[in-house]
Amino acid sequence: MSTTPSPQLEPGRTSAFVVYVLFLLSIPSAAIFALFGIILALAARDGAGPLARSHLDNQIRIWFIAFWWTIGLAVLAIIGWLTLVILVGAVLLWIAGLGSLILFLWFTVKSLLGLLALMDNRPR
C-alpha cells in the first residue's frame, strides 16, 4: 500500500484548476476573473503540494507578465492618442493594438496549456 497521495488529492490542485478556469473566463469578463484568479493563486500557493505549487507559481508568473505588458501597452496607447495630431500617434496606436492582441493570445494559450498539463499530472 502506497502512502503517497494521488495527484487528484494533492493539496492545492483544485485551486490551480480553478485559477486556470478563471484565467480562461477572464476573456469575456474584461480580466476581472483573472484578478480573482491571481488572488486565489497567491493564497493557495503556500499549502500546495509540489505539482500544484509548480502550476500556481506558473500562474502567478503568467499573470504578472501579462499585467506589466498591459501597463506598458496602455502607456503606449495614451502616448499614441496624445500624438495622434502629428500622425505618429496612429503608428503607436497600431503597435499598441497589435501588442494587445498578441498578449491576449499568449495569455489564453499559456492558460490552456497549463490546464491541460495539470489535468495530465505534468508540472509547469
The model carries a pTM of 0.86
Residue 13 falls in which region: left (phi positive, over 0), alpha (psi -120 to 50) or beta: alpha
Average pLDDT, the chain: 91
For residue 1, pLDDT over 60 is answered with no
**CA dihedral over 62, 39, 124, 106, signed as positive or negative:** negative
Residue 2's pLDDT band, with cuts at 50, 70 and 90, is: very low
- 26: CB partners within 8 A, 6+ apart: 32, 33, 34, 35, 37
- pLDDT class of 10 with cuts at 50, 70, 90: confident
pLDDT of residue 7: 56
Tens digits of residue pLDDT in 23-38: 999 988 888 999 999 9
Percentage of the residues of the chain whose pLDDT score is greater than 70? 94
Per-residue pLDDT of 31-60, as tens digits, reads 899 999 999 999 999 988 999 999 999 999
